[in-house]
Homo-oligomer: A and B are copies of this chain.
Amino acid sequence: MKKLSIVDIANSLNISKTTVSFILNGRAREKRISDEMIERVLKYVNEVGYKPNTLAKSLRTGKSHTIGLLVQDISNHFFAAIARQIEDRAYKNGYKIIYSSTDNDTRKTKELIALFRDQHVDGYIIVPPLGIEADIEDLIADGFPVVLFDRYLPGVETDHVLVDNLFSTYNATRLLIDKGYEHIAFISYESTQTQMEHRKQGYRKAIEESKLKPNILEVDFYKEEKLIIEEIRSFILNNKNIDAVLFGNNYLGTCGLKVFRSSGIKIPDDIALISFDDLEVFELYTPEITAIAQPVEAIAEEVITILLNRLNNVPKDDSKQQVTLATELKIRKSTR
């Protein structure tokens, strides 16, 4: 059973392929094609199970109905959960997703963007690493819709959806302060990415407002887990006065859990703990871990809605859509 083309359909019906094309693309009315013709074509097409060749269509129209999704790491639950939602909405709207993990690696990301362009991707959803500014600007200059999330690129005007990182850590730190903790550490990455910067600023703001002393550990993102754990461990062990720790993301939070558990540090009696991002493990841990939950569904929803609107040229106006969502501090048992 060879694959049918539009010409085969036209020949079988003794009409021109133009007519078939118009009918198939819903432009029959506009072209004033007779109802019976429409009926006949549709019926036949359906009967023989004809499917237009999307590749040929894309080549002709320049649209691929494909969205490129670049997250930091698809195996991290935060990104996987968002990818899942985006995928759902995209497929429902006739878009396929091609995706990849950037590993926060600028070079890899550059290559990936080139690959996606090459593939005639219609729109981009990107969790941008640093150093990718120019590539994003090129994309935009060439008229591609791109929406960033989780972080943004200062100086690059794009659509993006973020959470209120600064307030989130400010709020969490305040909780700790209000509970009477006085030596609160913040553990994060050596990173100037906006989300991490803002989380640090939120922490600092609360600490300084209360005339406490900030104590920050920034680990190397690219180190392997074992080494990160050791770094955290020696930080904790060398700063005996620490009575509470705020972790900058879910990964660091679980690393912290591993450190405390293996070092026999009791939560919250010895040290209190709050982590950015919520995870099932935080809910199920003993004691349950207080966490800053990002609104995963809302983020995904905003991202894909903005992109789909751009793809359909709505809104007509050119102003960038930049939304900031609130997080929820889930207060559990990891603070006294």
Enumerate chain A interface residues (CB-CB to B < 8 A).
51, 53-56, 58-59, 64, 66, 73-75, 77, 80-81, 83-84, 87-88, 91, 96-101, 112, 114-115, 118-120, 254, 257-258, 261, 279-281, 284-286
Contact = CB atoms under 8 A, between A and B. Distances in A.
A84 B101 contact: yes
A56 B54 contact: no
Q: How many copies does the complex hold?
A: 2
Contacts of A56: 59
Nearest to A56: B59
B99 A99 contact: yes
A279 B75 CA distance: 12
A69 to B, nearest CB: 9
Contacts of A51: 114, 118
B96 A97 contact: no
Contacts of A284: 254, 257-258, 261, 281, 285
Instruction: Rank and list the top 3 A-B pairs by shortest CB-CB distance, nearest first.
Output: A281-B281, A75-B84, A286-B286
A73 B84 contact: yes
A83 to B, nearest CB: 6
Given A75-B84, A280-B281, 12 more contacts: A51-B118, A74-B80, A74-B84, A74-B87, A75-B83, A80-B80, A91-B115, A97-B99, A261-B284, A281-B284, A285-B285, A285-B286
Contact of A280 (B53, B97, B114, B254): B254
25 contacts: A51-B114, A53-B118, A53-B120, A54-B118, A55-B64, A55-B120, A66-B98, A73-B84, A74-B74, A74-B84, A74-B87, A75-B84, A77-B77, A84-B101, A91-B115, A96-B98, A97-B98, A99-B99, A257-B284, A258-B284, A279-B281, A281-B284, A281-B285, A284-B285, A285-B285
